[in-house]
Amino acid sequence: MNKKSIVKIIIPVCVILIIAGIWIIKNADKSMENPIYSKEGSNTHPDDEVFALEISSLDLEALKSHELPIILDFEADYCSPCREMKPALKAIHEQMLGKAIVKYIDVEKSSDIASDFPIQVIPTQIFINADGSPYIPGDKVGIEFTRYSYRETGEHAFTVHQGGLTLEQMQMILKDMGVAE
């Protein structure tokens, strides 16, 4: 082989190795950003499915197992108050990534999920404490909530807010739930 043939082979191989190296470095950095440690010590990244905002299926017990406060927001694209609240919901989701689980459920696309909860109007939010119990608002929150109980036992089942919430209101609720900013 002459030198021209060797150069024609070595240059593309070097370019491929450089691109592969950059890709590996970028992906290695992502796995180290904002790690969340579960009870067992396994590393869960906030980009995982658990922290996705929009969902089409819900395993509430699996979410509760992460021992983080949960906000379930039931909305629909056709709903004007829902569209007004959506930027605040996205903002709180980004701010609380890894500190709380925020879920958006479209009642049109996922009516099966909505049927498991006391949804009378949209938007409606359901709040669950990090220990899996229904959130009980403190005196200083100043937002109207509805508490639902199981008929058979009278046990508190859900704490619900009907209507839109602002970013500041969601921050205040999460702070009341024990989430540090």
pLDDT digits (tens, 9 = 90+) for 30-76: 434 433 333 333 344 555 677 889 998 999 999 999 999 999 999 99
- Within a domain: 43: no
What pLDDT is recorded for position 37?
31
Question: 101 lies in which domain range?
Answer: 49-176
Place of tokens 């197992």: 65
Catalytic machinery residues: 79, 82
Domain CATH code at residue 87: 3.40.30.10
Kindly state whether residue 69 falls inside one of the protein's structural domains.
Answer: yes
pLDDT number for residue 46: 52
Q: Which residue has the tokens 């209507």?
A: 163
What is the full DSSP assignment across 46-105? Answer: TTSGGG-SEES---HHHHHTT-S-EEEEEE-TT-HHHHHHHHHHHHHHHHTBTTBEEEEE
pLDDT > 90? residue 1? no
Residue 85 predicted with pLDDT over 70: yes
pLDDT at res. 181: 67
Span 157-166, mean pLDDT? 96
Q: How do strand 156-162 and strand 124-128 relate by DSSP bridges? A: antiparallel
Q: Which of 26, 67, 33 is nearest to 48 (CA)?
A: 33
Please indicate, yes or no, if residue 120 is contained in any of the structural domains. yes
Report how far residue 103's alpha carbon sits from residue 3's, in angstroms, rounded to the nearest whole number.
Answer: 60
Number of compact structural domains in the chain? 1
The C-alpha angle 139, 141, 145, rounded to 5 degrees, equals 90
CA pair distance 66, 69, nearest whole angstrom: 9
